[in-house]
Amino acid sequence: MRKFVRASFDLEAANRAIKVGSIGKIFEGFAKEFQPEGMWLVSQDGNRCTVAVFDLPSTSKIPPLAEPFFMGLGGAIEATPVMDLAHQQTCLSAL
């Protein structure tokens, strides 16, 4: 299922990860594992965040998605199912 994910990071934990060089490895690991359609680094509510759209094939992939952000960046994650226009049109035509 296609997901929109927003992960926000604790400021101090993110600063430490930048200083020791681990933040890039966390993002690279996510990108390699989930092959997002798009991934952006943003600031929201004064915190560093990343937002991404990708396919989550199974709920068994939630721990590999979340834990690096939780453990390495003190992260909080929100995941929302999304569809593109073509998928929406397919779904609506079935009504």
| Domains of the chain listed by start with CATH number | 2-93 (3.30.70.1060)
Q: Tell me 89's DSSP state.
A: H
Residue 93, pLDDT > 90, answer no
Residue 72, pLDDT > 80, answer yes
Mean pLDDT of the chain: 93
Q: Quote the pLDDT of residue 10.
A: 93
Give the residue-averaged pLDDT of 55-63: 93
Burial zone of 19 (CB within 10 Å; 0-12 exposed, 13-18 middle, 19+ buried): exposed
Give the residue-averaged pLDDT of 9-29: 95
Residue 37, pLDDT > 80, answer yes
